[in-house]
Chains A and B, each alone.
Chain A
Amino acid sequence: MGERVRDALRAYLLIAGMWIRSTMIYRTSFAVTMAGNLLVTGLDFATILLMFSRVDSLGGWSLPEVAFLYGLSATSFGVADLVLGSMDVLGTRIRDGSFDTLLVRPASVLAQIGADHFALRRLGRITQGAVVLGWALAFAGIDWTPAKVLLVPLMLAAGAAIFCALFVAGAAFQFLAQDAAEVQNAFTYGGTTLLQYPPTVFGKDFVRGVTFLLPLGFVNWVPAAYVLGRPYPLRLPVWTVWAPPLVAAVCCALAGLAWRAGLRAYRSTGS
């Protein structure tokens, strides 16, 4: 098991390296798209700033508090996006037949498709998310304790893992519907957008769904509410604040199963 993971990681890095070299052939284009990525991903925060130019709080949360949510969501999503953000090419690869060429290589197909079109320009989203997060940490008036200090990196890591699981599950879905790559956007891009706003903004049933059904709430909402000392709209036991790594592990396991089922279905149907 450990060896298989190590091999997969190695293959991933080999292929990602090839994509980086490919992008660096066109340096100007890379610089432009990198700047563009920074700008595009920054628009979400610009919208929040615009909202706060007209109001002082949203759902009872102040701007630095919303910025804290935003920074956590954008950074962890940014990491997942950098690592697996191009998995939506799977459908195209299946349609044009190039997916088959991955299956004759002595390397994990998941690693190969995960590294496909690896793009360093995606560092843009991580960068602006991290900047906002840094600002929020300084100005959100957090009453720091060791537990809260520990929670921040934990949230980022678990959040990134949860988003990675969504990307893999989305890719697995493309084995069934090759044209429907956009569905996963609702969960990935939609998910990160959703988590940039306070949970108090949303209807109770909606928050319930996003906490228990599709556990996005554990990316930042639940632990961040604790760090900021704000009540979560749902009654949850205190320990759930530490649940994100567990939730992430379950999500990754389920996504892995979905991927295997999808790949098996592909290999038996060839489409």
Chain B
Amino acid sequence: MFIEVDGVEKVFEVRKKTGFLKRERRQVRAVDSLSFTVARGEMVGYIGPNGAGKSTTIKMLTGILTPSGGRLRVAGIDPSRERMRLAHRIGVVFGQRTTLWWDLPLIDSYRLMHRMYRIPDARYAENLDRLVELLSLESLLDVPVRQLSLGQRMRGDIVAALLHDPDVLYLDEPTIGLDVISKAKVRDFLRELNTERGTTVLLTTHDLQDIEQLCSRVMVIDHGRLMYDGPLAGLHEAGESERTLVVDLERELPPIDAGPAARVVKVEGPRQWLAFPASESAAPLVARIAAEYPLADLSVREPDIEAVIAKMLRSLGDTPKPPPDRATA
């Protein structure tokens, strides 16, 4: 296995003020007996509520933090012990924190990576050409980073993280704050990177579409524990999550009666919101409403990731569920 996490835990000591000059020490388990493996070439979404232990896990996998216990290997390397050797094998993109040089042209940051990672000249040139083309940054190489848009900068950061051909790419919120087109570009690129080069990708995100479009596998963490590990569809089932049908009628009417398939959750003038199970198709529901009501417009909203996770966690009663058999995934 390419990434092996076995009973890893991370305990922080937090000092809390309890009075004037009085401080109480308390131990917090940010990650608690976490175990999973990721095979080479997998693309995994790593999600959970804020403060669930996502970034702590990523920091341990990238060698930033030392685990308090358990065993952790990435490409056979113990990240905390051999930070520098690991650095050559991994690429990291911190979503909201650019590592590009603010005042300098984009290309200068890449030249620094070239030399810092001691990438052979030919391979650097080849990688740069390919990445820049795939992420359509050709015309921006000589533009100072401070003049790039958020989406351009994110693409620029992704290139910087991949110039040295890492085997695994960690992405922390890679699409946060990006417009629809930039999001699509980033996702298309990641899919291609994964299929063409076989790069293992582990990403944390708040955007369910990132997961839907990219990841065959999702891991959900909460309170430092792995709550779910499996395909996205299974997550929907586990959480019995709901999609929302937003219906605009031609005039104000009493709540729509759509039978047992859906229920109205909100009415605002001629607009009504109906919730229906995410696992069901919207088609019969739409057909029924269209037949019985004066329909002006409608749209379907996917559940957001927090809602899915929250539901799932509630349904599990906060007890971790053993991961399903990975052989079928």
Are the chains A and B members of one assembly? yes
**9 residue pairs, one from A and one from B, having the closest CB atoms:** A106-B87, A103-B64, A22-B103, A104-B92, A267-B66, A106-B84, A101-B99, A25-B103, A268-B66
Other A-B pairs beyond A14-B115, A22-B102, A100-B64, 8, CB < 8 Å: A14-B116, A15-B112, A21-B104, A98-B97, A101-B92, A103-B63, A104-B92, A106-B116
B2 beta carbon closer than 8 Å to chain A: no
Would A269 and B12 count as touching, CB distance under 8 A? yes
Pairs A–B under 8 Å by Cβ, sample size 20? A14-B112, A22-B101, A25-B104, A96-B97, A98-B97, A100-B64, A100-B94, A101-B94, A103-B63, A104-B63, A104-B87, A106-B85, A106-B87, A106-B88, A106-B117, A107-B87, A264-B66, A270-B64, A270-B65, A271-B12
A11 beta carbon closer than 8 Å to chain B: yes
Number of residues in B with C-beta < 8 Å to the partner?
31
Report Cα–Cα, A161/B88, bound state, in Å: 32
Q: Which residue of A lies closest to B13 (CB)?
A: A269
Minimum distance in angstroms from A96 CB to a CB of chain B: 8
A18 beta carbon closer than 8 Å to chain B: yes
Report Cα–Cα, A202/B88, bound state, in Å: 54
B187 beta carbon closer than 8 Å to chain A: no
| Chain A residues whose C-beta falls within 8 Å of the C-beta of B175 in the assembled complex | none
Q: Which positions 14-39 of chain A face chain B at CB distance < 8 Å? A: 14-15, 18, 21-22, 25-26
| Chain B residues whose C-beta falls within 8 Å of the C-beta of A21 in the assembled complex | 104, 108
Report Cα–Cα, A105/B117, bound state, in Å: 8
Q: Which positions 90-110 of chain B face chain A at CB distance < 8 Å? A: 90, 92, 94, 97, 99, 101-104, 108
Minimum distance in angstroms from A114 CB to a CB of chain B: 15
Report Cα–Cα, A264/B66, bound state, in Å: 8
| Chain A residues whose C-beta falls within 8 Å of the C-beta of B80 in the assembled complex | 267
B311 beta carbon closer than 8 Å to chain A: no
Minimum distance in angstroms from A233 CB to a CB of chain B: 40
Interface residues on A, range: 20 to 34
Q: Which residue of A lies closest to B80 (CB)?
A: A267
A97 beta carbon closer than 8 Å to chain B: yes
Which residues of A are in contact with B by a Cβ distance under 8 Å? 11, 14-15, 18, 21-22, 25-26, 96-98, 100-101, 103-107, 264, 267-271
| Chain B residues whose C-beta falls within 8 Å of the C-beta of A26 in the assembled complex | 103
Report Cα–Cα, A15/B111, bound state, in Å: 11
| Chain A residues whose C-beta falls within 8 Å of the C-beta of B112 in the assembled complex | 14-15, 18
Minimum distance in angstroms from B82 CB to a CB of chain A: 11
Chain A interface helix/strand/loop/mixed = helix
Minimum distance in angstroms from A86 CB to a CB of chain B: 15
| Chain B residues whose C-beta falls within 8 Å of the C-beta of A264 in the assembled complex | 66
Minimum distance in angstroms from B225 CB to a CB of chain A: 19
| Chain B residues whose C-beta falls within 8 Å of the C-beta of A98 in the assembled complex | 97
Partner of B97, one of A97, A107, A269: A97
Q: Which residue of A lies closest to B94 (CB)?
A: A101
B40 beta carbon closer than 8 Å to chain A: no
Q: Which residue of B lies closest to A109 (CB)?
A: B83
| Chain B residues whose C-beta falls within 8 Å of the C-beta of A268 in the assembled complex | 65-66, 68
B59 beta carbon closer than 8 Å to chain A: yes
Report Cα–Cα, A199/B101, bound state, in Å: 46
B204 beta carbon closer than 8 Å to chain A: no
Report Cα–Cα, A25/B102, bound state, in Å: 11
B62 beta carbon closer than 8 Å to chain A: yes
B56 beta carbon closer than 8 Å to chain A: yes
Please indicate which of the listed interface residues A25, A104, A107, A269 has the most CB atoms of chain B within 10 Å of its own CB: A104
Minimum distance in angstroms from A202 CB to a CB of chain B: 35
Chain B 54-83 per-residue mask, 1 if CB under 8 angstroms from chain A, else 0? 001001001111101000000000001001
Report Cα–Cα, A6/B66, bound state, in Å: 26
Would B65 and A267 count as touching, CB distance under 8 A? yes
Partner of A18, one of B68, B101, B144: B101
Would A103 and B97 count as touching, CB distance under 8 A? no
Report Cα–Cα, A25/B146, bound state, in Å: 12
Would A104 and B62 count as touching, CB distance under 8 A? yes
Q: Which residue of B lies closest to A103 (CB)?
A: B64
* Given A11-B116, A18-B104, A268-B65, also A103-B83 (CB < 8 A): yes
| Chain A residues whose C-beta falls within 8 Å of the C-beta of B65 in the assembled complex | 267-268, 270
Report Cα–Cα, A103/B87, bound state, in Å: 8
Please indicate which of the listed interface residues B12, B64, B87, B99 has the most CB atoms of chain A within 10 Å of its own CB: B64
Q: Which residue of A lies closest to B64 (CB)?
A: A103
Would B104 and A22 count as touching, CB distance under 8 A? yes
Would A104 and B90 count as touching, CB distance under 8 A? yes
Q: Which residue of A lies closest to B30 (CB)?
A: A270
Report Cα–Cα, A67/B65, bound state, in Å: 49
Report Cα–Cα, A105/B88, bound state, in Å: 8
| Chain B residues whose C-beta falls within 8 Å of the C-beta of A269 in the assembled complex | 12-13
Minimum distance in angstroms from A13 CB to a CB of chain B: 10
Partner of B116, one of A25, A100, A107, A267: A107
Minimum distance in angstroms from A271 CB to a CB of chain B: 8
Minimum distance in angstroms from A71 CB to a CB of chain B: 35
Minimum distance in angstroms from A124 CB to a CB of chain B: 21
| Chain B residues whose C-beta falls within 8 Å of the C-beta of A14 in the assembled complex | 112, 115-116
| Chain A residues whose C-beta falls within 8 Å of the C-beta of B97 in the assembled complex | 96-98, 101
Minimum distance in angstroms from A94 CB to a CB of chain B: 12
Minimum distance in angstroms from A12 CB to a CB of chain B: 11
Q: Which residue of B lies closest to A112 (CB)?
A: B116
Would B56 and A270 count as touching, CB distance under 8 A? yes
Minimum distance in angstroms from B244 CB to a CB of chain A: 35
* Given A18-B104, A267-B80, also A103-B62 (CB < 8 A): yes
Report Cα–Cα, A270/B12, bound state, in Å: 8
